[in-house]
Amino acid sequence: MSDLVDGYADQGELVRLMGITISEVSADRVIGTMRVQGNTQPFGLLHGGASCVLAETLGSLGAMRHGLSVGRPAAVGVDINATHHKGVRDGTVTGVATPIFRGVSIATYEIIITDESGDRVCTARITCQLRRP
Protein backbone atom coordinates (compact mmCIF):
# COMPACT_ATOMS: atom_id res chain seq x y z
CA MET A 1 0.00 0.00 0.00
CA SER A 2 3.03 2.27 -0.06
CA ASP A 3 2.83 5.58 -1.90
CA LEU A 4 -0.95 5.49 -2.25
CA VAL A 5 -1.32 8.96 -0.86
CA ASP A 6 1.80 11.08 -0.38
CA GLY A 7 2.67 10.91 3.30
CA TYR A 8 -0.22 8.59 4.17
CA ALA A 9 1.00 5.16 3.07
CA ASP A 10 0.22 3.59 6.47
CA GLN A 11 -3.57 3.41 6.76
CA GLY A 12 -3.50 2.07 10.31
CA GLU A 13 -4.05 -1.07 12.30
CA LEU A 14 -7.82 -1.29 11.75
CA VAL A 15 -7.40 -1.45 7.97
CA ARG A 16 -4.92 -4.31 8.38
CA LEU A 17 -7.10 -6.16 10.91
CA MET A 18 -10.12 -5.99 8.62
CA GLY A 19 -8.18 -7.22 5.61
CA ILE A 20 -8.82 -4.14 3.47
CA THR A 21 -6.73 -3.99 0.30
CA ILE A 22 -6.53 -0.81 -1.77
CA SER A 23 -6.03 -1.25 -5.51
CA GLU A 24 -6.53 2.27 -6.89
CA VAL A 25 -6.31 5.78 -5.45
CA SER A 26 -6.97 9.11 -7.11
CA ALA A 27 -9.08 12.14 -6.28
CA ASP A 28 -11.58 10.83 -8.87
CA ARG A 29 -11.85 7.21 -7.74
CA VAL A 30 -10.67 4.92 -4.96
CA ILE A 31 -11.16 1.15 -5.11
CA GLY A 32 -10.65 -1.33 -2.31
CA THR A 33 -11.72 -4.81 -1.24
CA MET A 34 -12.40 -6.39 2.11
CA ARG A 35 -12.92 -9.98 3.13
CA VAL A 36 -16.26 -10.91 4.70
CA GLN A 37 -14.84 -13.67 6.92
CA GLY A 38 -13.82 -12.19 10.25
CA ASN A 39 -15.93 -9.07 9.67
CA THR A 40 -19.36 -10.50 10.46
CA GLN A 41 -22.02 -9.88 13.08
CA PRO A 42 -23.43 -12.69 15.30
CA PHE A 43 -25.83 -13.92 12.58
CA GLY A 44 -22.95 -14.53 10.17
CA LEU A 45 -23.63 -11.55 7.89
CA LEU A 46 -21.14 -8.84 6.98
CA HIS A 47 -21.25 -6.36 9.86
CA GLY A 48 -22.68 -2.96 8.89
CA GLY A 49 -19.88 -1.32 10.86
CA ALA A 50 -17.34 -3.19 8.72
CA SER A 51 -18.95 -1.73 5.61
CA CYS A 52 -18.65 1.71 7.21
CA VAL A 53 -14.95 1.13 7.93
CA LEU A 54 -14.39 0.22 4.28
CA ALA A 55 -16.40 3.23 3.12
CA GLU A 56 -14.60 5.67 5.43
CA THR A 57 -11.21 4.30 4.40
CA LEU A 58 -11.92 4.72 0.69
CA GLY A 59 -13.66 8.09 0.96
CA SER A 60 -10.93 9.48 3.21
CA LEU A 61 -8.21 8.39 0.80
CA GLY A 62 -9.99 10.17 -2.06
CA ALA A 63 -10.43 13.27 0.09
CA MET A 64 -6.74 13.22 1.08
CA ARG A 65 -5.71 12.91 -2.56
CA HIS A 66 -7.96 15.86 -3.46
CA GLY A 67 -6.69 17.79 -0.43
CA LEU A 68 -3.15 17.60 -1.78
CA SER A 69 -4.26 19.74 -4.75
CA VAL A 70 -5.62 22.49 -2.48
CA GLY A 71 -2.81 22.46 0.10
CA ARG A 72 -4.86 20.62 2.75
CA PRO A 73 -3.78 16.96 2.68
CA ALA A 74 -5.25 15.96 6.07
CA ALA A 75 -8.81 14.65 5.71
CA VAL A 76 -10.86 14.21 8.87
CA GLY A 77 -14.23 12.51 8.64
CA VAL A 78 -17.05 14.68 10.02
CA ASP A 79 -20.09 12.75 8.77
CA ILE A 80 -20.75 9.26 7.46
CA ASN A 81 -23.96 7.44 6.67
CA ALA A 82 -24.71 4.08 5.13
CA THR A 83 -27.66 2.17 3.78
CA HIS A 84 -27.27 -1.61 3.91
CA HIS A 85 -29.12 -3.20 1.01
CA LYS A 86 -28.18 -6.88 1.09
CA GLY A 87 -26.56 -9.36 3.47
CA VAL A 88 -23.33 -11.13 2.55
CA ARG A 89 -22.01 -14.26 4.31
CA ASP A 90 -18.72 -15.02 2.55
CA GLY A 91 -16.21 -13.97 -0.07
CA THR A 92 -15.12 -10.39 -0.52
CA VAL A 93 -16.81 -7.07 -1.08
CA THR A 94 -15.50 -4.25 -3.25
CA GLY A 95 -15.97 -0.56 -2.60
CA VAL A 96 -15.69 2.23 -5.15
CA ALA A 97 -15.54 5.81 -3.88
CA THR A 98 -16.28 8.71 -6.22
CA PRO A 99 -16.57 12.41 -5.39
CA ILE A 100 -19.88 14.18 -4.95
CA PHE A 101 -18.31 17.51 -3.97
CA ARG A 102 -14.68 18.66 -3.73
CA GLY A 103 -14.01 22.06 -2.22
CA VAL A 104 -11.16 23.78 -0.43
CA SER A 105 -12.29 22.90 3.09
CA ILE A 106 -14.54 19.84 2.61
CA ALA A 107 -14.90 16.88 0.28
CA THR A 108 -17.83 14.47 0.05
CA TYR A 109 -17.59 11.01 -1.50
CA GLU A 110 -20.16 8.35 -2.32
CA ILE A 111 -19.04 4.77 -1.79
CA ILE A 112 -20.82 1.86 -3.45
CA ILE A 113 -19.99 -1.55 -2.00
CA THR A 114 -20.81 -4.66 -4.03
CA ASP A 115 -20.45 -8.41 -3.52
CA GLU A 116 -18.64 -10.81 -5.82
CA SER A 117 -21.76 -11.08 -8.03
CA GLY A 118 -21.80 -7.32 -8.53
CA ASP A 119 -24.93 -6.86 -6.39
CA ARG A 120 -25.04 -3.67 -4.32
CA VAL A 121 -24.52 -4.44 -0.65
CA CYS A 122 -24.21 -0.93 0.76
CA THR A 123 -24.33 2.71 -0.33
CA ALA A 124 -22.43 5.12 1.91
CA ARG A 125 -21.53 8.80 1.92
CA ILE A 126 -18.72 10.48 3.84
CA THR A 127 -17.88 14.15 4.24
CA CYS A 128 -14.33 15.00 5.27
CA GLN A 129 -12.97 18.29 6.51
CA LEU A 130 -9.75 19.13 4.71
CA ARG A 131 -7.02 20.47 6.98
CA ARG A 132 -3.39 21.30 6.94
CA PRO A 133 -1.36 18.77 8.97
Q: From the candidates 13, 24, 56, 116, which is the catalytic residue?
A: 56
CA dist., res. 93 & res. 40, Å (int): 12
CA neighbor of 52 nearest in space, from 15, 91, 13: 15
Query: What is the edge-to-edge ordering of all strands in the sheet holding 30-35?
Result: 21-25, 30-35, 92-102, 106-114, 120-131, 74-84
CA dist., res. 106 & res. 103, Å (int): 5
Which class for 79: exposed (0-12), middle (13-18), buried (19 or more C-beta within 10 A)? exposed
Q: Is 56 a catalytic residue?
A: yes
Residues assigned a catalytic role: 56
